[in-house]
Amino acid sequence: MALTGLAGRHSDAAPADVPPAIELRGISKAFGPVQANRNISIRVGKGTIHGIIGENGAGKSTLMSILYGFYRADAGEILINGRPTSIPNSQAAIRAGIGMVFQHFKLVHNFSVVENVILGAEDGALLRPSVDRARRLLAELARDYELDVDPDALIEDLSVGHQQRVEILKALYRHADILILDEPTGVLTPDEADHLFRILANLRDQGKTIILITHKLREIMEITENVSVMRRGEMVATVRTAETSPEQLAELMVGRKVLLHVPKGPASPGRTVLEIEDLRVRDDDGVERLKGISLQIRAGEILGIAGVAGNGQSELLEVLGGIARGTGSVKLNGVPLDLAGRNADGRSRRRAGIAHVPEDRQNLGLIMDFTAWENMAFGYQDDPAYQKNRWLMDNEALRKDAMGKIERFDVRPADCWLPAKSFSGGNQQKIVVAREIERNPDLLLVGQPTRGVDIGAIEFIHRRIVALRDAGKAVLLVSVELDEIMSLADRIAVMFDGRIMGERLPDQTDERELGLLMAGVEATAGKAA
Amino acid sequence: MQRMPAWADAFLVPLISLVIAFLISGIVVRAIGQDPVEAMRIMVQGGFGSAYAWGYTLYYATNFLFTGLAVSVAFHASQFNIGGEGQATLGGLGVALVLLYIPWPHWTIALVAAMIGAAAFGAFWAAIPAWLQARRGSHIVITTIMFNFIAGGLLNYLLVNWMKPAGSMDPSTARFGEAVRLPTFYDLPLVGQYFTKSTPANITFFIALLACFLVWLLLWRTRLGYEIRAFGKSEKAAIYAGISPFRIIMLAMLISGALAGLMAINGTMGGQKRLILNAVEGAGFIGIAVALMGRNHPFGVLLAAILFGFLYQGGAELSLAMNIPSQLVTVIQALVILFTGALDNMVRAPLERAFAAGRRGGAPQGQGGP
């Protein structure tokens, strides 16, 4: 591993005589076969802001949930202010002085601010004294920390930024000395985020300890004293923020792996297959996730989308695959696609010649309770080849077709009657890839093709994707694995915060430069480094 | 990983539940000073012991078959249709309108027309909650249950104010003509010799069996069934596959409502031969228990429907023959529903552990978390 050099820079912020506000020793947590946290140790100094950074699924939220009493660790120890503390539930966490501000707020929308603040922490049977006390306290907090919110406003009338302040107030009202904020800026405008950081700095200066979970490097650099990097359930490094750089953090987050060699000749791109102009997508909360994407893919070319997870790649796949709706213009072979109307669905996309290997194969790509042969036709169930007559499906044909794909893609066990959930991750992915690639689409959308897939299957899937390219098809590849992008793509576009930060050719760039783009650092002229 | 063999899941669990339900029923019967063994004998004799008994048991079973299938089809699309009661009520209205105001020359044509009427009215009554769910997100459990009350009120109004023959005090329509009388088991060749003229079980039973087969065909042999099951398992995946949630919710509920409506062919056209108030008599709700116990599979629904038909008929005999109040018979039926439906996990969980222990005895297996 390239990380050993960093171990020496492991640092403690607090002086030796003051015990750290939080110390975790050897925390491990598994969910079934998935190891969410592996032997994690961390010390958070009193009166500091400590960043925890890592990609989605790196295990940050699990770790914080353990600290807040939602999960119990399989192994390991929690020390609060130097004392070993057991945190079996969130009440215990609150008693230990820990407050949590969740990514998705836990507020009662038709209650007022003050009612939300005292909810669950009322003094007695009568509400009045609690409300009065809370009102006084809110006024004090507003003065001290710039935490001003109208105590009588209803939550549903408040902006997201103000709602978040209510969450912070709730924690402070419960005497929290340690505040955990989970992706606090995800829903905020830049101005609101700046205000939040001023609040956090004030809290720190008054001696509160703050843990900030995020995957945004800018925030870490701006406000934290120390930063810990998590990757795949492990704590890979803890460094002083002043002694690190965004590119180093990006590299640590994404990690390096043994470079897989994909045998592939030079691309011979032909006509333009996919043409995207100013594509925008909003999520259910109205937050813009794609902020005007423009790109093109030509026949016989693999375009790789690199980026830290959660920067709009999923939305890009979903809008092209007919799952999400958007605005802008997308043309396939010169024909505009319907982005928000009646034909903005998966059926129309498949008919137009787009196949989609989704990022989330277990929730999107497969019906886990369906048999392998049922899954091999999923999305193509109206194919005439699968119909016996006007009314009935030809299940025999489905099974024959499935057995062929199972053989050609070496799905194991080679039993088309097993439900999808009985296959390993790699073989589940082969089922999806076989189904989509064998359609011979003009455009293949592939999301995280090798996530949770074993080495052998990775190579196989990569070969198939390259073979499709060589057959003159266009491929849009989204992956958070940089080497996968580097070795598979003919052209790389880097996404950050819903935008394309830049395009590079794989043989004219390196992981450092891509890491900077992924961190949202605007490219300087050429390869200045 | 399969935790339990399929046969145990399909047969052993309901069987054990049933035995427990009957044991507790026995204690209840004992508690009011009656002999539980004698009670059981009378019930079995009354439900299965004679052609007469079968004639009633299968008559009730036919009702439950339709409502059980109705719940099952909706359930496969993850829609909990508890409006079978109202949809069957409307089905009765459809049957009555078709049969009262058109002079049918022969029962066969009348049957086809009445089936269309029953299915259309039942489907219509399911369509409104389905639309509200699919387009507006109003929860289908709430809306279907409200539509049960509306259906009851509507029928009451129509019977009292419009459909009751002039001068009659009874809130029911006139009798349908003799020409549209459905053949009962007594009228059928071969089986007719065993049944008497008063047997209510009629040709609708065979239509219900056909419906059973067609529902199986729909769910596991057609594209629509494939899409219904996929949608029911995962809405997100269904959207990925280009399956329209609106279309699936509407179609599944239309089919469900039509099946519930068809129940009126058995009761209103075959049994009562006129439209009466409360013709459905709770069969819509029994359908939920039947579907639950039958694991939403048409074959399971058939077995469960016959069991509940037996409970109805045997229970009626029980309150006649012994000094057992009819409310207590309802208690016995409720116990069966409770144990086979609601308390299913009470039997399943220990049984799964037993099977797992049995397997560990054989070969060690890496088991994941719960």
Between CA A322 and CA A367 the distance in angstroms is 18
User: pLDDT by residue (tens digit) across A168-178?
Assistant: 999 988 889 99
3-state SS string over A400-421? Answer: HHHHHHHHHCCCCCCCCCCEHH
Q: Does A370 reach chain B within 8 Å, measured CB to CB? A: yes
ipTM for the whole predicted complex goes beyond 0.90: no
**Residue spans per domain, chain A:** 9-97+178-187+206-253, 107-176, 272-365+437-518
pLDDT tens by residue, B38-64: 999 999 999 999 888 999 999 999 999
- pLDDT, residue A2, reads 38
Whether residue A1 lies within 8 A of chain B, CB to CB, comes out as no
Q: Do A381 and B226 touch (CB under 8 A)?
A: yes
pLDDT (average), residues A504-523: 84
pLDDT of residue A1: 34
Q: Which CATH class is domain A9-97+178-187+206-253?
A: alpha beta
Look at domain A272-365+437-518 and name its CATH class: alpha beta
Predicted confidence at residue A33, as pLDDT, reads 66
Number of A to B CB contacts under 8 A, please give it: 69
* Average per-residue pLDDT for chain B: 90
- A8 pLDDT exceeds 70? no
Determine whether the interchain pair A381/B233 forms a contact, defined as Cβ–Cβ distance below 8 Å. Answer: no
Structure tokens at B179: 């020409």
Q: Which residue has the higher pLDDT, A56 or B165?
A: B165
**Cα-based distances in Å from B289 to A429, A436, B286, B300, B335:** 39, 41, 5, 12, 11
Mutation test of the interface with chain B: which of A338, A360, A370, choosing the one with the most B Cβ atoms within 10 A?
A370
Indicate which of A29, A345, A371, A389 best probes the interface with B, i.e. most B CBs within 10 Å of its own CB: A345
* pLDDT, position B9: 79
More confident position, A371 or B347: A371
Residue A358 C-alpha, separation from nearest chain B C-alpha, in angstroms: 8
Say what percent of chain B tops pLDDT 70. 96
pLDDT of res. B365 = 39
By C-alpha distance, the chain B residue nearest A419 is B1
* Confidence at residue A524, expressed as pLDDT on a 0 to 100 scale: 53
Show the beta-strand stretches assigned E in A374-481: 443-447, 474-478
Measure the CA angle with vertex A325, ends A310 and A473; round to 5°.
80
Determine the distance in angstroms separating the CA of B304 from the nearest CA of chain A, rounded to an integer: 24
**Over pLDDT 90: what percentage of chain B?**
64
- pLDDT tens digits for range B80-95: 999 999 999 999 999 9
pLDDT at A528: 39
Whether residue B220 has pLDDT greater than 80: yes
Residues of chain A positioned with their CB less than 8 A from the CB of B239: 323, 345-346
Asked if the bond preceding A413 is cis, omega within 30° of 0, the reply is: yes
Domain boundaries, chain B: 59-301
Q: What is the pLDDT of residues A321-378, one digit of tens each?
A: 999 999 999 999 999 999 998 899 999 999 999 999 999 888 999 999 999 999 999 9
pLDDT at residue A290, rounded to an integer? 95
Q: Work out the minimum CA distance from B238 to partner chain A, whole angstroms.
A: 8
Average pLDDT of the segment spanning A230-243: 90
| Averaged pLDDT of chain A | 87
- By three-state DSSP, how is residue B205 classified? helix
Q: What is the mean pLDDT of residues B5-20?
A: 84
Task: Considering the domain delimited by B59-301, tell me its CATH architecture.
Answer: Orthogonal Bundle (1.10)
Rounded Cα distance, B27 and B149, in Å: 36
Distance from CA of B242 to the nearest CA of A (A): 4
What local confidence, expressed as pLDDT, does residue B241 receive?
96
Q: Which chain B residues have a beta carbon less than 8 Å from that of A366?
A: 237
**What residues of chain B have any CB closer than 8 angstroms to a CB in chain A?**
1, 217, 221-223, 226-227, 229-230, 233-234, 236-237, 239-244, 368-369
At A450, is the pLDDT very low, low, confident or very high (cuts 50, 70, 90)? confident
The least confident of A309-318, B108-117, B137-146, B341-350 is B341-350
Identify the weakest region by mean pLDDT among A203-207, A278-282, A516-520, B124-128: A516-520
User: Is B104 in contact with B115 (CB distance < 8 Å)?
Assistant: no
For residue A329, the model assigns a pLDDT of 96
Q: Would the pLDDT of B370 be above 60?
A: no
Kindly state the average pLDDT of the residues B124-132.
Answer: 97
d(CA A481, CA A455): 14
> What pLDDT does residue B95 have?
96
Fold identical between A9-97+178-187+206-253 and A272-365+437-518? yes
CB A165 within 8 A of CB A199: yes
pLDDT tens figures, A433-446: 999 999 999 999 99
Q: What is the pLDDT of residues A31-79, one digit of tens each?
A: 766 788 999 999 999 999 999 988 766 788 889 989 999 888 999 999 9
pLDDT, tens digit, 9 for 90 and up, residues B273-291 = 999 998 998 899 999 989 9
Q: Which amino acid is at B242?
A: G
In this predicted structure, what is the pLDDT of residue A3? 38
How far is residue B106 CA from its own chain's centroid? 29
B227 neighbourhood in chain A, CB within 8 Å? 381
**Residue B369 pLDDT > 50:** no
pLDDT at A523: 57
CB atoms B230 and A378 under 8 Å: yes
Q: Evaluate if residue A153 carries a pLDDT over 50.
A: yes
Q: Residue A194 corresponds to which tokens in the numbers above? A: 């700046």
Give the tens place of pLDDT for each residue, A98-144. Answer: 999 987 788 998 999 998 988 887 777 777 888 888 888 888 888 88
